[in-house]
Chain A
Amino acid sequence: GAGVSQSPRYKVAKRGQDVALRCDPISGHVSLFWYQQALGQGPEFLTYFQNEAQLDKSGLPSDRFFAERPEGSVSTLKIQRTQQEDSAVYLCASSPGGAGVGNEQFFGPGTRLTVL
């Protein structure tokens, strides 16, 4: 398909486990964003990539969260030593241009993470 895809769609982890969430953006999109959406809330910005460069990681809640996009396409969000408060839907979005032009973001369906 031509849209943003994310995998897995659902992930259940035991507290303390490490998890890795994958995002496949739309081919050719320069910008990639990660958001965290808690139940009943709007998405909250985590981090932003322009190609392979992570230009903004100010939203990552702790040093347990790490994101990468080594070849400027697929991105992985890794959470180490998961805790219950990490339970949320993690959304990935991509955009054709740089983030500085108010471009539309195209969102994936999200990964619902539940930490027991």
Chain B
Amino acid sequence: AQSVTQLGSHVSVSEGALVLLRCNYSSSVPPYLFWYVQYPNQGLQLLLKYTSAATLVKGINGFEAEFKKSETSFHLTKPSAHMSDAAEYFCAVSAQNTGGFKTIFGAGTRLFVKA
């Protein structure tokens, strides 16, 4: 079975500070890993994904994430937070089950950015 744990339901940073959102996964088979962002009253939008190529994945809006198999982690980072980054962020793992891949989402981390 697959699972995702996001550490911290809320993270608050100052504008210009480093953003670090933590994600740990569990999977018995090689996983695909994703980070999605959700703005209020909108659907989820893909930030980046890991599909067994480079372990450091660069995404949109200056975000990146590093796949660390030994730590079963896929933390999301951004060097300098902008006010527009305030949103809910979801880590997700995708792995095979009967009939195809099921995507399992974490509970989400809400990012607050202070001026």
Co-assembled chains A and B: yes
Interface membership of chain A positions 51-70, coded 1 if the CB is closer than 8 angstroms to chain B and 0 otherwise = 00001101100000000000
Q: Is B77 an interface residue (CB 8 A)?
A: no
Q: Specify the main secondary structure of chain B where it touches its partner.
A: strand
Number of A-B residue pairs having CB atoms within 8 Å of each other in the complex: 72
Q: Is B46 an interface residue (CB 8 A)?
A: yes
CB distance from A1 to the nearest CB of B (A): 12
Interface residues on B, range: 20 to 34
Which residue of B36, B43, B98 has the most chain A CB atoms within 10 A of its CB atom?
A: B43
Interface residues of B in 80-115 (CB under 8 A from A): 90, 92, 94, 96-108
Once the chains bind, are A42 and B43 in contact (CB under 8 Å)?
Answer: no
Interface residues of B in 1-59 (CB under 8 A from A): 4, 9, 32, 34, 36, 41-46, 49, 51
Which residues of A are at the interface with B, using a C-beta cutoff of 8 A?
Answer: 4, 31, 33, 35, 40-45, 48, 50, 55-56, 58-59, 91, 93, 98-102, 104-105, 107-110
